[in-house]
Chains A and B, each alone.
Chain A
Amino acid sequence: MNIFPFNLEPSLCFYVVVYVLTLVLHAIFMTYVLAGSIYLAWASMFPGKTAIVRARSPLAEVLRDWMPFALSAAITAGVAPLLFVQIIYRQEFYTSNLLLGWRWMMVVPVLIVGFYLLYVVKSKLISQWSLAARGAVTVGVAGCFLFVAFCWTANHLLGIDAARWPDVYATGAVVSSVVSLASRLMMWVSGAFPVMCMLALWQLVYYRRRATDVASVDRQHSGPQFVSEIRVLARMGLGGLALSLMFATGYAFTLDAQIRGEFISDGIVWAPFLVVGGVFQATGWFRLLKSEGDSFAIRVLISVGCLSMLVAVGFLREMLRISKVDLTVVNASVKAAAGVGGFELFVGFTILNIGLMAYCIRLVNRRTTGE
């Protein structure tokens, strides 16, 4: 079967699947943080002319409120793919880390700064600050996360460019092609918006239903404000989708022709997921633009579209990378890794922990004393 990843050796196929699935989990939270922080920066710089300024809109409130958690979740979810990427691409990953050097070591401090700034953004204090100060803080937050995204993309591109390693070590020029880095990074940044909008849509609807949380959000949730907010989401979702397609196409043109050819032949199985994902999302967002309010079916349609696209992108992304590494080394090392044991342990405890997490969430939904 010449369908990626099933055309790989069994052990490698197994690790690639586990890797991609955990990376998708990371991407879901990471995009929320990335697109959310950019939206908040924009909202505080351009308050708009409506009755409620953008920075006080339900969407902004929800984002501010949930961003710190989403960042914790993005970080935690990032640990699993971080583990598997070292199993599959040990040499490439470590070498690019080392070549990025202090730039790579900045990721953690920058995330710490970003995290505490998120709490500043969430606090009541900041609403009393001047527009300039608020703008500076929110732009700062977005800048932090953009920098982190840049590092991951630069790291990825450097890892698959082994021929350049000695040169990069000598010159410190970690970016070989600004065009390919920028288009790839922008693909992620713009692609983050549809995912964030999908998640925020569920949140806004949830808050409208249950008048339990964040009082101010609930108040504004009724009537016209809610409808206009959904339209904002729809517009951002559609815009992000279109832009990310554009940047992805741009990125594809930076690949060499042979790889692009293989990409199309072996990766064809993922094309329907991309197309269907895109169509589902576009249809859903259009419906929301046109109609008043939303429906459960539309939300599911958008979510399925989003997930299917993320999974397809995850696998296609790996296909490109695997075509660039030395498969004999990777196969030997992954095969040996598959033999060390412990997988059952992971499965057992993960099932237990998923159960316990579900129990926690049920607990806060049921066992609250009310207000």
Chain B
Amino acid sequence: MIRNVHASRLIEMHMSHIYPVNDYGPLMPGLVMAAVAIFHVFLAQFAVGGGFLLCYFQWLSMTGRNQYAKLFVHGYFKVLVMISFVMGALTGVGIWFTSIQISAPTIGEMVFNFHWIWATEWSFFCLEIVAGYCFYRYHDRLTDKAALTLLVLYTFAAWASLFWINGILAWQLTPGSWVESRSIADGFFNPSFWPSLFFRTIVCLTLASLAGCVLVNMIPNLDRPAQQSLVNRAAHLMAPMVAMPILGVWFLMAMPPDSRGWVLGGSPAMMLFFMISVGASVAIGGYAVIGLWMQRLYINGATATLLLLLAFGATAGGEFVREGSRKPYSIRHVVYSSGILPEEVAELRRIGCVSNDPFPLMHEPGLPNETVTLGAKVFRRQCAVCHTMEGSNAVAHLTESWDADQMRMNIAKLQQTKPFMPPFAGTPAELEALVSYILWVQDDRPSEYAVSEDQAVLQQIAKWMDEAGTQAATVTSMEREKR
């Protein structure tokens, strides 16, 4: 019942509203998004882990366990503020803005469903900057205990912001029972919430530990034994990495089977990124564990920087997998990557997906006639998030070896052609127009272009679309296909 109200509201809103699409050139917006996201995740996790590291070192100094720890605390916090505090916050806003550029319906749904979670996270941001700034500004005047209190509050706030956002991001991939219940608790504590929270927390600690090692090597006038004692302590934060394999498996198990399939070989690109991520983590973990085991780990500046770069690679790989494995959805069962909702597909097949698109085509001059123009609009609405026409993942090239009928059939059955594509969501005439557009581009964009208006062709397309149905491909349908 609630579900129905929700669906009808969405249909009403989206059907009446089409967003303008920007063409950012040959770089697919997805790549831009990934770059900003990776950068942000890296910095933000560093900020969270840095809090833990500082609390630990402050405690070491207060309990007399390490006399140099205090020196480190004051130096490290400056870096934390200058780099991650500021850049973390700003790249966070950056992700938000980029998400809007890529898929306004997606971010819209996320905000719609979880705005109070986000607002709660925001109140922790506020605590984070107040506690952090109090420490930053007054640390050399504070009593030890007051300094520790501020650091603990800072760390608590920073980690809490991870806690909240983690729920929303995990929900995108595994909405779980929320799909039926629409309960915010079900959505937040979704199947991949816990493995992903623990996993991310460990990543935070690892990043901070590595950055700590880089920094220790940069403290002027510190002799080798002093440096060694600090590096050893910083490396303690890498110990939880031993739990990573278990958490990784837990996470994979929580993933929907098809997404897991992409990662474990179904999609070569996805698997590559996954392997990069695993490989880099193993390298870092191996170094740390062996070092800790032997009790005399020393990581010099160059090695630490190298390990930090590896960690960046691991983060990048992980984020790619997280983004990519959701295909064909941007929010599983809620929104397709194209910004079209699963509930809308049937209706769009009836009324057309661009019949109320008011935005002219800007980046395709010389369109010869209305049909081709219509096709270009269909491409912009349904394909452009993942494809370009002639750049990367170019549809004109991917379809080069197909004749017109193959094109019609494969696009009509898009979700079966490649299960990480959504079902086609337009009228048969729009599909035929799309095919004309692709053929026109393949023919080098002649100024005159004849298009057929054969009713039999349209009927055949309609038949293929009906055969494929309006649902996304499921694992079972994929397997049937294989056989």
Contacts and interface: CB of A to CB of B under 8 A. Distances in A.
Bind each other: yes
Interface of A: 69, 72-73, 75-80, 82-84, 86-87, 90-91, 94-95, 97-99, 101-102, 104-105, 107-108, 111-112, 115, 119, 165-166, 169-170, 329, 332-333, 336-337, 340-343, 345-346, 349-350, 353-354, 356-357, 359-361, 363-364, 367-371
B276 interface: no
B86 A72 contact: yes
Interface string B91-134: 11110111011001001100111111111101111110111011
A112 B93 CA distance: 11
Given A72-B129, A72-B133, A166-B359, A98 B86 contact: no
B295 interface: no
A112 B126 contact: no
A371 B24 CA distance: 55
Question: For chain B, what secondary structure do more than half of its interface residues adopt (helix, strand, loop), or is it mixed?
Answer: helix
A136 to B, nearest CB: 22
Contact of B116 (A73, A169, A343): A343
B143 A367 contact: yes
B116 A340 contact: yes
A72 B85 contact: yes
Given A76-B126, A329-B13, A368 B141 contact: yes
B142 interface: yes
A104 B99 CA distance: 12
A98 B20 contact: yes
The interface size bin for chain B is 35 or more
B9 interface: yes
16 contacts: A75-B90, A90-B112, A91-B19, A95-B104, A98-B19, A169-B20, A169-B359, A170-B362, A332-B9, A336-B5, A340-B114, A342-B114, A360-B153, A361-B134, A364-B146, A369-B143
Contacts of A112: 86-87, 90
Given A97-B97, A360-B130, A90 B108 contact: yes
Consensus secondary structure, chain A interface: helix
Nearest to A341: B184
A79 B82 CA distance: 20
Given A72-B86, A112-B87, A356 B131 contact: yes
Which of A105, A112, A360 is packed against the most chain B CB atoms within 10 Å? A360
A144 to B, nearest CB: 12
Contact of A69 (B20, B133, B362): B133
B16 interface: yes
A360 B150 contact: yes
Contact of B90 (A73, A108, A340, A356): A108
A65 to B, nearest CB: 9
Given A169-B359, A363-B146, A98 B101 contact: yes
B293 interface: no
Interface string B148-190: 0110010001000000000000000000000000111000000
A341 B183 contact: yes
A87 B122 CA distance: 16
